[in-house]
Structure 1
Amino acid sequence: MRVHFIAIGGSAMHNLAIALHLKGFNVSGSDDEIFEPSKSRLSKHGLLPRNEGWHPELITPDLDAIILGMHARKNNPELLKAQELGLKIFSYPEYLYEQTRDKKRVVIGGSHGKTTTTAMVMHVLKKLGRDFDYMVGAQLEGFDTMVKLTKEAPVAVFEGDEYLSSPIDLTPKFHWYKPHVAMLTGIAWDHMNVFPTWENYTSQFTTFANSINPDGSLIYYDGDEELRKIAARFQTEPKTIAYDTIEHENTNGQTIIKWQGKRYPMEIFGDHNLQNLNGARLVCNELNISDDDFLTAMQSFKGAAKRLQLLEKRDNCNIYLDFAHSPSKLKATVSAMKRQFKNRRLIAVMELHTFSSLNKAFLPQYKRSMVEADIPIVFFNPEVLKHKKLPELDKEDIASAFDQTGLQVITRSNELVEWLKQQSYDNTNLLIMTSGNFSGLDIKQLAKELI
């Protein structure tokens, strides 16, 4: 098979390119800019384009498939050439489905927690020696790539993202996968630029549920009213299974799962993580994995990158990094930190970076989302607003929307670093939350310096 990637440098795209290369495909690709770590990883496998830019001459009739990334535009010259030649053009989620048509597909979706939950299922399967294909939205410890596709594996585990598939395919990615086992972690309005209303956003999850194989199963968080409504639509097929927070206790800062008379100490913590764990347990049950095997394997699970990731620690201070950026994620992550370390002060720093979070109409969704932090800090860079072509925001807009006593708003990364370096971290935890990098900060290096 000869496959060409338009915008091969993307996070998901370059991982799929490597996966197909390892499967034996003849892979080529183009991009106008490729950053690390994509650049080094493509180079390692001999897939890095010789020259940056778009090269229509690479698009020839003997290509079996074109895979189009979101970074490309509708007028991309390679795309136009492929359309002119009548070549088959796939988005990457569509191609994942094509490669796993004959496998049992597990898809984990939801506005928050889907990466972590997918990582949990993958960790357990690997620990138990199961063979499986996968696609996950973060680099995980113990896995070389974020995508794996083989001929032999009987099961494929996918993280189900609700964002759009490609510039010419406006289907939410998870609508492509047609799962046999589906899990939904919860619904909280996100991607306002694509789904402008709550109703429009929630309808994508209804469509996803309707795409489950009739003899399949829908596992859903029972604490989410919208998910309960979706599940109630199904009388017999697919079967529906509700879950909540698994029974546990917190002993000296460690979470211990209590299950059927046994105790399982865990490295993860927080109600949201423990809800995800319970959902992952039910997913694994559907793959014929017992509760004891699941919980035993989970004891060595440390979490996915940027999901309450412990960067540095000393006797009375931990520094964590988390992907949280939407209101619901922010509130859940701050709450988890405060409850796990009840006797420590919490400094919580978050960056407004996404289109939704920097939209003045969306900002009120953040009201009191950091209320459990002792010192809440919000960072945003006005230059990002210009880049996203959004109206200007000022510090007062942010402070008013968050509606929280003591909230500080900072707009320059050097000012943020100076402020953090001036703080005392005795009996204090620092929680850093962002889907970006605070305008170019080396967050891991900063954590080392602060400790």
Structure 2
Amino acid sequence: MRTHFIAIGGSAMHNLALALHDKGYQVTGSDDAIFEPSRTRLKKKGILPEELGWFPAKITADIDAIILGMHAKADNPELLRAQELGLKIYSYPEFLYEQSKNKTRVVIGGSHGKTTITSMILHVMHYHHIEVDYMVGAQLEGFDNMVHLTEYNDFIVLEGDEYLSSPMDRRPKFHLYHPNIALISGIAWDHINVFPTYENYVEQFEVFISMITNGGILVYNENDPEVKRIAEAATNPIRKLPYSTPDYFVKDGTTFLVTNEGNMPIEVFGAHNLNNLAGAKWICQNMGVDEADFYEAIASFKGASKRLEKIAENKRNVAYKDFAHSPSKVAATTKAVKEQYPDRTLIACLELHTYSSLNPEFLKEYEGALEAADVAVVFYSPDAVKIKQLDEITADQIGAAFNRNDLIIYTNPEAFREYLFHLKFDTQSIALLLMSSGNYGGLHFDDIKELMQ
């Protein structure tokens, strides 16, 4: 089968391209910008475009499928040529569904936690040598790609993103997967540029539940009131399995999970991650892994990339980075680190980087999000606000939104870097938490390791 990717360089798109290449498909693609690690990984497989740009001549009648990335615009010259030739055009999630029609589809949805839960499930399957197809939003230890597709595996595990499918298809991605087994981890308003009201955002999850196949299973977090409400209100013929945060305790910097087999030390920590673990356990049990085997495997799970990832540590100090940017995730992550290191000064640094977080109307959602931190720092770039064509926000607005008088605010990357480099790691016990979906205007996280050496 011959496939062509319009915008092949994206994180998700290049992983799908690699998966299809490994499956034996003939893969080509184009993009106007390709960065690392996509460039090197595509080149290694021989599918890196020879030159950057869009080339309608690449689009020929013998192509079986065009796969359209979010980076491509509706007036993309290759897309226009494909439409002219009447070729079959798929969004990323549409094509994944086509690849999984004859499999049991397990879809993990939620405003937060879905990458971690998907990663936990795949870790358990890998530990027990159970082969499954998958698509996950982070690079996992022991896995070559973020997408894996075969003709023979019975299950496919999909991270179900609620963002739009493509420039042509404005449906949320997870509406297209039609799960046999679904999970919803939590609902907290996000993507306000697409879902302008909270009610509109919640509605997407109600639709997701309605898309579960008849006789399918919904695993849902009953600790989240909104998730519990919409799950219990659903009337389609499905089985509903609630989960909640299990009992655990922290001793000497180690989190112990309370189980029927005794107290079990685990690598991950924080109430939100223990909640994620409970959801993953239900899913794995419905995929044929019993409870004892789940616990045996999950004990060695260290976390997904960029999700509470430890980047540096010495005897007195520790530093983590986390992808957290939504208010609920920021609050949960900050609380988790303070709970794990109660005797250390927690310095929590949040970059406001996404469209939602830089929106003046949305800022108020962050009230109390950094409450657990001993020292709270917010970084944002006024240039990023301009690029996103948003109304200007001021330090006073941010201070008022977080409702914290001692909030430290930086807008200059160099000034923020100087702040970090003057922290007294040699005389204090510090837990440093860096939360962002960006990089604080160019911060190199390896520099943090040097600070703690």
TM-score (norm 1): 0.98
Please state how far the C-alpha of 1:235 moved relative to its aligned partner: 5.5
Tell me what 2:355 maps to: 355
Aligned residue for 1:170, secondary structure, equals: coil
Tell me what 1:443 maps to: 445
CA distance in 2, matches of 1:243, 1:218: 11
Please state how far the C-alpha of 1:440 moved relative to its aligned partner: 1.9
Tell me what 2:282 maps to: 282
- Which letter maps to 1:433? M
Please state how far the C-alpha of 1:143 moved relative to its aligned partner: 0.8
The answer to whether the 8 A contact 1:420-1:450 is kept is no
Tell me what 1:338 maps to: 338
Tell me what 1:394 maps to: 394
CA distance in 2, matches of 1:221, 1:448: 40
Please state how far the C-alpha of 1:228 moved relative to its aligned partner: 1.3
Tell me what 1:129 maps to: 129
Any idea what the Cα deviations from partners look like across 1:12-54, whole Å, max 9, x if unmatched? 0000000000000000000000011111111111111001000
- Which letter maps to 2:373? A
Is 2:72 the partner of 1:81? no
The answer to whether the 8 A contact 1:264-1:296 is kept is no
Tell me what 1:111 maps to: 111
CA distance in 2, matches of 1:82, 1:171: 21
Any idea what the Cα deviations from partners look like across 1:162-184, whole Å, max 9, x if unmatched? 00000001110001111111111
CA distance in 1, matches of 2:160, 2:224: 18
CA distance in 1, matches of 2:42, 2:451: 32
CA distance in 1, matches of 2:108, 2:378: 30
Aligned residue for 2:165, secondary structure, equals: strand
CA distance in 2, matches of 1:408, 1:263: 40
1:43-62 counterparts in 2 under 5 A?
A: 43-62=43-62
CA distance in 1, matches of 2:383, 2:236: 52
Aligned residue for 1:166, secondary structure, equals: coil
Aligned residue for 1:171, secondary structure, equals: coil
Unaligned runs of 5+ in 2: none
Any idea what the Cα deviations from partners look like across 1:107-144, whole Å, max 9, x if unmatched? 10100000000000000001011010000011111111
1:184-199 counterparts in 2 under 5 A?
A: 184-199=184-199
Any idea what the Cα deviations from partners look like across 1:364-405, whole Å, max 9, x if unmatched? 101121011011000001111111111211211111111112
Tell me what 2:232 maps to: 232
CA distance in 2, matches of 1:303, 1:7: 29
Aligned residue for 1:289, secondary structure, equals: coil
Tell me what 1:374 maps to: 374
Any idea what the Cα deviations from partners look like across 1:166-216, whole Å, max 9, x if unmatched? 000111000111111111100000000000000100000000011111111
Any idea what the Cα deviations from partners look like across 1:399-420, whole Å, max 9, x if unmatched? 1111112101101111011111
Any idea what the Cα deviations from partners look like across 1:248-296, whole Å, max 9, x if unmatched? 2212111111211423210000000000000000001101111110011
Distance 1:324 1:234, change over 3 A: same
Aligned residue for 2:415, secondary structure, equals: helix
CA distance in 2, matches of 1:303, 1:346: 21
CA distance in 2, matches of 1:428, 1:36: 32
- Which letter maps to 2:371? V
Aligned residue for 1:220, secondary structure, equals: strand
The answer to whether the 8 A contact 1:257-1:265 is kept is yes
Is 2:30 the partner of 1:30? yes
Tell me what 2:97 maps to: 97
Please state how far the C-alpha of 1:242 moved relative to its aligned partner: 0.7
Please state how far the C-alpha of 1:237 moved relative to its aligned partner: 2.4
Please state how far the C-alpha of 1:450 moved relative to its aligned partner: 4.4
CA distance in 1, matches of 2:371, 2:249: 24
Any idea what the Cα deviations from partners look like across 1:280-337, whole Å, max 9, x if unmatched? 0000110111111001100110000111100010112110000000100100000001
Is 2:177 the partner of 1:181? no
The answer to whether the 8 A contact 1:133-1:149 is kept is yes
Tell me what 1:260 maps to: 260
- Which letter maps to 1:145? N
The answer to whether the 8 A contact 1:133-1:148 is kept is yes
The answer to whether the 8 A contact 2:314-2:452 is kept is no
The answer to whether the 8 A contact 1:421-1:450 is kept is no
CA distance in 1, matches of 2:261, 2:43: 51
CA distance in 1, matches of 2:236, 2:83: 43
Any idea what the Cα deviations from partners look like across 1:330-378, whole Å, max 9, x if unmatched? 0000000111111111000010000000000100101121011011000
- Which letter maps to 2:436? T
The answer to whether the 8 A contact 1:68-1:92 is kept is yes
Aligned residue for 1:142, secondary structure, equals: coil
CA distance in 2, matches of 1:115, 1:30: 27
- Which letter maps to 1:207? V
- Which letter maps to 1:239? R
Aligned residue for 1:264, secondary structure, equals: strand
Please state how far the C-alpha of 1:421 moved relative to its aligned partner: 1.1
Tell me what 1:427 maps to: 429
Determine what percentage of the aligned residue pairs are the same residue.
Answer: 51
Aligned length: 451
The answer to whether the 8 A contact 2:179-2:212 is kept is yes
CA distance in 2, matches of 1:27, 1:314: 46
Aligned residues: CA RMSD: 1.0
Tell me what 1:322 maps to: 322
TM-score (norm 2): 0.98
Aligned residue for 1:145, secondary structure, equals: coil
Aligned residue for 1:179, secondary structure, equals: coil
Distance 1:171 1:235, change over 3 A: closer
Please state how far the C-alpha of 1:225 moved relative to its aligned partner: 1.4
The answer to whether the 8 A contact 1:234-1:240 is kept is no
Tell me what 2:162 maps to: 162
The answer to whether the 8 A contact 2:317-2:452 is kept is no
Aligned residue for 1:164, secondary structure, equals: coil
Unaligned runs of 5+ in 1: none
CA distance in 1, matches of 2:383, 2:297: 45
Aligned residue for 1:350, secondary structure, equals: strand
CA distance in 1, matches of 2:433, 2:234: 40
The answer to whether the 8 A contact 1:110-1:184 is kept is yes
CA distance in 2, matches of 1:447, 1:59: 47
Deviates more, 1:225-234 or 1:14-23: 225-234
Please state how far the C-alpha of 1:236 moved relative to its aligned partner: 7.5
The answer to whether the 8 A contact 1:121-1:284 is kept is yes
Any idea what the Cα deviations from partners look like across 1:406-442, whole Å, max 9, x if unmatched? 1011011110111111111321100000001111221
The answer to whether the 8 A contact 1:266-1:300 is kept is yes
Please state how far the C-alpha of 1:150 moved relative to its aligned partner: 0.8
